Structure 1
Amino acid sequence: MSQETIQGVLCMNKPAEFTSFDVIGKLRGILRMRRLGHTGTLDPMATGVLSVLVGRATRACDILPDQDKTYRASVQFGWETDTEDVWGVRTAVYPEMHVTKEALESVLSQFRGEIWQVPPMYSAVSVDGKRLYELARKGVVVDRPARKVQIHTLTLETWNEDAQTAELLVSCGKGTYIRTLLSDIGKALGGGAVMTALCRTQASGFSLEQCYTFEDVKRFCREGSLASHLIPTDRLFAALPALHLTEKQSVLYGNGVKLDLEQIPEYQDSQTEYRVYDAKQVFLGTALAEPENSVLRVGKNFN
């Protein structure tokens, strides 16, 4: 398989002090490929799962059905910073604050399910066309509208009452800021809190155990085994039901022609989005059903 045709997902264990774009840049140098992207930004000091899209898999960036992520986050209670993590400038100290395990576990119940969250100033969120972090670096603070985010699970993993530190496991939906979640938990306990470490353990259905380092990738290139270490592109769409087309339908799909839903036995009335395969089980891409017109149209072609 040539570099021009290779595609799939390369799961990287992002090291600290690298931005997500830094990882892409370094991989472009190692792989000698330009067509790379990722499925979700990680803060520079965070580590863990960064799913890198290779070749035509980059077409999946804006249509991933699984946007859930899981993090292991460390928190220190008793102070605050302008970035909501330990690497920012300290803005407040709460010397009288003393958190107990019972109080912490009681407060956590307030932050499960659908909650409102105000994005931090040091974030890539845009307000009136300006990135918040650009304004924050100039010392400008603006009002940010609160957004709904989903916290699927939030559990206390470790607790040290003497040090006033904890480690939390968080499973959440798209757009959740973990450092803001920890800061808000600190406020709910009557003081403040900062994030001291963050590791993403799962993203887009991929786990930390599936991830590689830069040295691993260099070795794959030397061995000529990179393709065998990529996760197939269709795994990004594992949450979608599959449709298997005939040879004739596959040709029509490849040409962008709408297909007759009545001629597709696997079509489900309750489902509008699918992953599509040809008669030889080759992944073609995604498709969208329009039951009102009784047609299936191409969503994104990966073949």
Structure 2
Amino acid sequence: MSSHGKPKKHGKDFIKDFLVGGVSAAVSKTAVAPIERIKILLQVQDISQQIAADKKYKGIVDCFVRVCREQGPITLWRGNLVNVIRYFPTQALNFAFKDTFRKYLCPFDPKKEMGKFFLGSLASGGAAGATSLPFVYPLDFSRTRLAADVGKAKHEREFTGLGNCLATIFKKDGLLGLYRGFSVSVVGIIVYRACYFGGYDFGKQYLFKDFRNANALFLFLFAEVNTTLSGLASYPLDTVRRRLMMQSGRAKRAYTGTFDCMSKIYAEKGLRAFYKGALSNVFRGTGGALVLVLYEKIQKFFLQKH
């Protein structure tokens, strides 16, 4: 009997983590969707076929004002439904896999083996992100292309929705088109998730005596700093992958691959070119911080209930 009890418990824990992580993510991503779209527009406008050279956005404020004026305020949430659909399994799988990997990669006592615990936390967070990515990458791809679409009227739009985007790109470029930029995305997600989950797990052990009962405001502020730094660490790779995504379905391509893309972006304005829209990450990081805090609080609720 005991031999069957343990796997069953692990299965229940996995499902619980999947649901708790997904719900937390769906709420937070909708809240910061306008910031996310502005960030993407600033990242990809130099390769967009819809944005002329003299019509490029000058920064976050200019982009926000012009999108509201030219496309309508509601379009700030363009692509958000796909993001929620994508983010639910992405974040939920990340949390679920993270805890699974942590059992094997981070079995260390945080008080006695601080260094090993820190490295184990980074490894489990990075492994979780890399494991989840292949399942949801086409949705991530579609989210980028829909958010980058600046057409106002239906006939001006590049894609009418998620299904149309997937079908159009698949028809032109096959499955490869939906996975363009995947390799650099794997590296980027490992960097981001390692910092995001690893930094959070490590920090909460040393900054909070009892993190489940910690003050929500302090927990949020810590999560905000952690999320922002994680985003900045992986931002150059995020810019590269989104530029590569924009090439799918196009007859002419600006980049031959990841390294060619990196060298051409660097040729624009040096390292600054990789960080276009990065300031929005500070505001966008609020969503990631909310996910972490909501996850802890919802888990606490379930633990008290059961």
**TM-score (ref. length: structure 2):** 0.24
Structure with the higher strand share, 1 or 2: 1
Report the structure, 1 or 2, having the larger helix content.
2
Larger Rg over CA atoms: 1
Report which structure shows greater RCO (CA 8 Å, sep ≥6): 2
TM-score (norm 1): 0.25
